[in-house]
């Protein structure tokens, strides 16, 4: 039985559009449904099986009161009944606490990752690492501020984008600091090394961020809900990272060197 009609098997073929009288004998209950219907389609007959009945779809046209009552009772009492028994092998209940635990674990992972980044930058780049830490913190503040402004909800994919933003910030600062170390190794003064380092690494930072931004835009366009949340967080983080890694970090260098024009090296 289908919605608005039924499927019949008949020894006689009827053309589409023909009105036929039908009677259905129900196995369970021994009652019958009788009525008139219109043939809507006929299944192509297999010539290799001549004794096989013709299949056709029939749309209800009219039905007697008794048959209507039987059909209504059948739909009320038998709708959705399973012909076989069901054995439960496993049953799990997922409540709101599971999502809260996952969010809490993601936040802890983000804080641990941030602390490890801070420790690495201070150990490897010494006092200059403070510059990178300030830049990353400002980046995260901008990211959280914009997410709060747009009303974004912090989910697990959003936390993943949050952590990836930290990684992108570290990557940008490492590129800048390594270029400054190379310039200092060539005998340039601290101010000249900082200027040349930022100028030469600008193209690399733009290239890496634009390529990642294109991927994030594709995720935002074709992804589903969680993936789109990750993409939104990543896009905001990329844009804020370009600002903090280049302009904020360079401003901090300029403030440090503003009164020390003759310094030939940096704690880097």
pLDDT tens digit at each of 268 positions of the chain: 544 455 556 666 677 777 777 776 665 555 567 777 787 777 766 666 666 666 677 776 777 777 777 777 766 665 555 455 667 777 766 655 556 777 788 888 888 888 988 888 888 888 888 888 898 889 889 988 888 888 777 777 888 888 888 888 888 888 888 888 888 888 788 888 888 888 888 888 888 889 999 999 998 888 877 788 888 888 998 999 988 988 888 888 888 887 655 555 677 7
pLDDT for 82: 46
pLDDT for 217: 92
Q: Return residue ranges of the chain for CATH 1.20.1640.10.
A: 97-257
Q: How far apart are CA 16 and CA 40, in angstroms?
A: 5
Asked if residues 238 and 165 have their Cβ atoms less than 8 Å apart, the reply is yes
Strand partners, 22: 35
Kind of pairing, strands 5-10 and 54-63?
A: antiparallel
Q: How far apart are CA 240 and CA 193, in angstroms?
A: 25
pLDDT for 31: 58
- Percent helix, strand, coil in the chain, to 5, is 60, 15, 25
CATH number of 97-257: 1.20.1640.10
The pTM score is: 0.58
Distances (CA, A) of 34 to 65, 242, 260: 10, 75, 102
pLDDT for 268: 72
């Amino acid at each position: 039985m289908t919605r608005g009609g039924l499927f019949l098997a008949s020894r006689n073929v009827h053309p589409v559009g023909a009105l036929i009288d039908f009677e259905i004998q129900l196995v369970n209950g021994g009652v019958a449904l009788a009525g008139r219907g219109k043939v809507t389609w006929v299944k192509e007959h297999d010539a290799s099986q001549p004794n096989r009945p013709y299949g056709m779809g029939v749309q209800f046209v009219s039905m007697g009161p008794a048959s209507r009552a039987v059909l209504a009772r059948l739909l009320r009492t038998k709708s959705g009944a399973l012909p076989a028994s069901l054995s439960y092998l496993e049953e799990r209940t997922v409540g709101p606490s599971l999502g809260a635990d996952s969010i809490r674990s993601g936040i802890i992972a983000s804080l641990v990752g941030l602390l490890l980044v801070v420790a690495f930058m201070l150990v490897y780049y010494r006092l200059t690492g403070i510059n990178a830490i300030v830049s990353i913190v400002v980046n995260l503040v901008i990211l959280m501020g914009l997410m709060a402004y747009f009303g974004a909800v912090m989910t697990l994919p959003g936390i993943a984008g949050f952590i990836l933003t930290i990684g992108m910030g570290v990557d940008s600062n490492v590129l800048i600091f390594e270029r400054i170390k190379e310039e200092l190794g060539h005998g340039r003064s601290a101010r000249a090394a900082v200027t040349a380092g930022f100028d030469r690494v600008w193209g690399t930072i733009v290239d890496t961020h634009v390529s990642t931004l294109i991927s994030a835009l594709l995720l935002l366009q074709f992804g589903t809900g969680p993936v789109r949340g990750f993409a939104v967080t990543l896009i905001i983080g990329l844009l804020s990272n370009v600002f903090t890694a280049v302009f904020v970090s360079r401003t901090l260098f300029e403030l440090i060197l503003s009164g020390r024009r003759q310094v030939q090296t940096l704690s880097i």
